[in-house]
Structure 1
Amino acid sequence: MDRSWLKEDRRTQEFKLGVDVLLNFAFLNGFKENKISCPCLRCAHSKSWNAQTVKDHLYQYGIDETYTCWIWHGEPNSVQSHVVSEQDTSKSSVDPTNMRMGQDIIDDEDISLDSSDFMNHVQGENEPLYPGCESFTKMRALVKLYNLKAKHGISDKCFFDVLLLLASMLPKGKRMPSSFGEAKKTLCTLGMDYEKIHACPNDCLLYRGERDEDETICRICGASRWKLNKKEEEVEGIPAKVLWYFPLIPRLRNLFNTTQIAKDMTWHKTERQNDGKIKHPADSKTWKDVDQRWPEFAAEARNLRLALSSDGFNPFHGSGSDHSTWLATYKKTVVMRYHRWMPRNYPYRRKKSAFDNTMEKLSEPIPLTGEELEYWKFLPVRHTIDVMHIEKTICEALTGTLLNIPGKTKDRESVHIDMAKMGIRMELRPKNPGKKRSYRWHLGTYCIKKKRLSARP
């Protein structure tokens, strides 16, 4: 099929006909008209729209010229098809015990098949960023740029402009991606793809699966799936809440594609000294209990015990993790709607300005018991919160805020500015923000004043 139209001007008839061919190709491969992956330079296959919206995006933003194999619209991957023709592959069998432990066993042939794109891509990324460059490869430069994008909240459009600027500054022979779509495609090939899943605004369910995928109202709380405008009207097509899902299996497979990392992943089984001292999670009682209860799982050194060895972490240390509201000035995420845990008729539930300008009507979320995972009830320690998080980080933040210790308190100028923008706690709004000499703000009632700290004779 001729796909030279990908490089044509968007205003030409050839480009318009090519767009129709692409959409018809997707329909023939079973894609629904209201859910088609968008290959425009802005979305770069990260979003799905109806056919007309996809067509409008392609006319407005253009298409990734390197998208010659339409894998996002039903075309088989040429590399994988070639491998399948040469090898006799079969679906890997999954042991129920291994699934209980959070990681399914994958045959070596299956790993090689699904990671062929990854290996081919990595081999080509060992080349320098430009001829003569010794400090950066294309992949290293791209990862560094993406770290900065996530750390400082750079928009997709700004990131695209930065790529164009860098491409114009580098010498001939450069390997810098020339578009945001190409950069996304590179990272997706490495198993860094993600999926956006619509969620209930009250965290009741995810709109996925046969039961809920096409629903517009939460079957648990009755909340609308779509965002409400200022007139409290539904804006169809714009979700009220979105979950960004990062598939775990491709990332774990890629770890085993690197020789040294694969060796480190099995170190606990092959090289660890079993001298009775606790130097590794494998020396803990919980790890040993799992080995005794599920010996078949323990026999394979490549199996991962994610529930035993994980801890609170953040891939980009400059941004928040899993809370609900991002404060633009404070540059952190904070927990909101914590008055859901108050008694049903407690008067504070009706005090909008004391919290987030909303009256809380919902009850507290139903806590997980651990019975949802079959193996969880057998673990002597059912959490991954360590002493550092409890005794140091939280206590240090509380003490620093109560005593108003400079550099330690969380009651900062940026917080007061954000609260003023949100329209809450207006009595604490700052005066002359940004001017250090004349800037003033009222301390919260929870802060201990200096007069209270002065010792009496």
Structure 2
Amino acid sequence: MFIPNMVYDHLISYGISQSYTIWHAHGERIGGASYHANDAQNNNEQINEGSSGMATMLHDVFPMFDPEIVEGGPEMGVDAREAGVQNENRQGSSERVNKFYNMLKDVDEPLYEGCTKHTKFSVIVCLWNMKCLGGLSNSIFIELLEFVNELLTLGASLPKNAYEAKKYMNELGLGYEKILVCPNGYMLFWKDNENLETCVVCGASKWKQKESMDDMSKKGKRSPAKILRWFPLKTRLQRLFMSSKTSAQMKWHAMGRTNDGLLRHPADRMAWKTFDTQHDDFASDPRNVRLGLSADVFNPFGNMSISYSTWPVMLVPYNLPPWMCMKRSSFMLSLIISGPSSPSMNIDVYLEPLISELKELWEVGAPTYDICSREIFTMRVALMWTINDFPTYGDLSGWSTKGRLACPICMGNTRSRWLKYGKKFSYMGHRRFLPSNHRWRMMAKTFDGTREIDPSPTMPTPDKILEQLDDLNCNDRTDRKRKRVVGSTSVKEHSWKKCSIFFSLPYWKDNLLRHHLDVMYIEKNVVDNIVGTLLNIDTKSKDGIKARLDLQDMGLRPQLHSVITDANKTYLSPAIFTMSNKEKEDLLKVIQNVKVPDGYSSNVSRCVKLQQRTIVGMKSHDCHILMQQLLPIALRGSLPKKVIEPLIELSGFFRGICSKTLRLEDLDRLESRIPYILCQLEMIFPPSFFTVMVHLTIHLVAECKLGGPVHYRWMYPVERYLHQLKFHVRNKAAPEGSIAEGYLLEELLTFCSRYLESAQTVFNRPSRNPDDSKGKVVDVRLDFMSWTQAHRYILFNSDDFTPFRM
């Protein structure tokens, strides 16, 4: 007796007959004749290797030639022919048809007579995947191709060199556009200005001027002074829905998310939900895409002594589940801004192509074929927020992150004080965030010499921000003076430098969270302040002669004022946080001797210099581990309890907001405790300790409540991706061009790798430390020291245990 479901599964897996000839030239789809929408929901189904898997990939890349789409019925075929998923003219369409059938022929052509596992197409894809995954040079790859071709004297002919293989692979790629830019960054020679020869702002030519007329005549063309590389977004988002491997995942935020009150995804928080409420037509279709934008600077040469900076702009689709969202395979490179200098506030000029496309995708949308539901829908796109470090925050938002009003959250209510001898601003005044009747508010001499009666600051409403921006002359790039906004009762300053281009998006002003504070950048600066001050590291310590003179100028802590001795030397009396040489050595030995699992962190012990009693060369993640795990243990017994307690609480604060799963009650507790922690630090450290980065910690919990878990909004995955982009630079004379070409191949191989399940790819490569137990229960016996360490770890990090009280 045959069960219908079993028969159906066998037909899907094995087909009607193993010897059946697929008539692809007559429109029969390979491996997809009986493909149903219900089956597309399961992205974990196994696809046959060789011809079937590669043919499925081709149909996902060229869906407009799928007979089931183009001729699938009156309700689907007409829309597909009109939209075509890609609207092309006849000549272009004819070229793509020929390209499609040539590749489909290579899919059917066996590598050699009798080969049933691989075809010419699959071998080329696998070889190029090996080259990129293993980092093979072009010379080695050419030798490999020559050797394989010698073995296949009677089989299919493979490309003879890396250039031919790359050209073959690029037929599947999406490409990018080159836009000429004013060498001073004032305008793009794009759209209506494409035929202009000089910049309308500064008059600079768009061509290089160093070349002589003879050189130009020999070359036959002129070289552009500066190039912006733009990777169109629409086609890349459409491919996510055309692929059977990612289409279902693009609806995870609406259909796969668990709604149990815990915060695991940005969709769980107010910024996302408020956007849905304000734009219910957009939220009605879960396939509409929500993006985050990240821009950062890096040196493409890997040599920091060279003053050169390249600015990639990347996009992150937040529709994807947590295990895919912030991964390298999901990042989309949108723009590459050429160096050698930073665009600074002129970055809006370079963002014009992206913003123009985002406006079109919001207002008009793009017809997109969804392989899961087997229908064409109008895809719309919204930009939720930007992710960047603090200096880039100012470039993108338009708010100056330097000076007296550096805090972009407090804005005009930022509390700062100029330090006469330190020559910088100090951002204290955290007593405003305490309850109105708290006794610390009246303790002037213990803090900054003033009594605190003001309430905690609130961020201006979007209408108030737009009112402030209306006072700016956005077209006058030379006007950098602060404007004053006159209100009904008072005069407040603001620090806007420009009207950001993001406000041209129709929905941008209503977003609750437009630009994120980067926890990675803030945490590193806080750790540098703490470690540098405690160990009294030169150039990093916030306690010195200038800091003591500032205390004297403010009339605070007379016991710490500098004293001139009889030998005409300046004596600084030890502060409560001053450590002896023995205490410094003990602290550094704890950090140096720590053992962590492989892959947990870098070797922090290499940064410890016992002889000099200092720590040097710590990266951002080293500071992350030091702050949250090592510092609370290393400080015990080294300093008075009054100093240790707030530092340990600060460590717990960062550990709490960096959790992958958050609870609202935990966030409320952290938000109520951080003002007390900062006020305790104000009573201990000098005013120079409180840079703007220390002050910004008080706003981190509020952003978690609006945007969700931190790991969706910090720079760690972006920085790792920038490190990977450096490997694409093969031509030092054109680093941005190398990055663009390398990214195209990486993007294509990432797409192809989803269909290569038997080969090693970025998705299925073995872990660095594979588990050999294969699910079996393993009995591990710990020595006494390891048992004690595990016991303490559980006690310090688990909420299930409460302190024992007599």
Higher helix share: 2
Scaled by the length of structure 2, the TM-score of the pair is 0.29
Tell me which structure has the larger Cα radius of gyration: 2
Bigger RCO (CA 8 Å, 6+ sep): 2
Scaled by the length of structure 1, the TM-score of the pair is 0.47
